[in-house]
Amino acid sequence: MTRSEENYLKTIFHLGGGDSELITTNAIAEQMETKPSSVTDMAKKLSEKGLVDYVRYQGVSLTNAGIKTALSIIRKHRLWEVFLVEKLDFTWDEVHEVAEQLEHIKSEKLIDKLDELLDFPKYDPHGDPIPTKDGKFQERDEKLLSEMPINSKGICVGVKDSSVPFLKFLDKNNIALGNTIQVIDKEDFDNSLRIQLDGKEMRISHQIAANLYVKKND
């Protein structure tokens, strides 16, 4: 497996969630910032390796082998993110680019040792679930903050947008995983929210609320 092939498998998985639904070459090209013709060429190569099913003029879907490989790459990426934050004091807006390089390390023994060193974490620094070695995810009941009704309360458990500008914005406003958030009011005009964040009131835009995952308190 080349680095490029692994990146394609990971992208197809993120776009399709491992389902059998075909992902168009245009969607993949847009995500990877490349030409549809390049995606078609790669799809043919991955199909020959039994990692994707390629349907001409329609798109591609991952085979079981392709899903397994994609989950392995995602597992490595997210474990490295945890390592960078917990052991090397990287901030959560710095880790993605470095983990993109480290995820291509082939040694399964190294990754298993890394998992053990980190005490088998279930989630990465952005709240995304880390697949186990056999490709299982830790399920949890979560929804976007923008979908929470007034007076509901929950714990911030993840971000939908993991871009550097958004994460820096959250840091600037002291919004982090583990915060208790209560929806105080919603503005009809622009759907902005007035929230209580660990006891402190503040107003946030709909765009921010639509990129924060919350686990509702029982």
- Cβ count within 10 A of residue 104: 14
DSSP characters over 65-116: HHHHHHHHHHHHHHHHHHHHHHTT---TTTHHHHHHHHTT---HHHHHHHHH
Check pLDDT > 80 for residue 218.
Answer: no
pLDDT 10s digits, 93-117: 999 999 999 999 999 999 999 999 9
Q: What domain range includes position 42? A: 3-62
Q: What is the CATH number of the domain that holds 162?
A: 2.30.30.90
In a domain, 80, yes or no: no
Check pLDDT > 90 for residue 24.
Answer: yes
Looking at the chain, list the stretches that DSSP marks H as alpha helix, in order from N- to C-terminal side.
Answer: 3-16, 25-32, 36-48, 64-86, 95-102, 108-117, 164-172, 206-209
The CA-atom distances, in angstroms, between 51 and each of 14, 110, 115, 155 are: 15, 24, 26, 38
Alpha-carbon gap, residue 22 to 68, rounded angstroms: 17
pLDDT 10s digits, 130-170: 999 998 887 778 999 999 999 999 999 999 999 999 999 99
Which pLDDT band holds residue 57 (cuts at 50, 70, 90)? confident
Could you tell me the pTM of the whole model? Answer: 0.87
Query: Of 46, 62, 78, which residue is a domain's last?
Result: 62
Alpha-carbon gap, residue 23 to 6, rounded angstroms: 16
DSSP letter, residue 120? -
The count of structural domains within the chain is 2
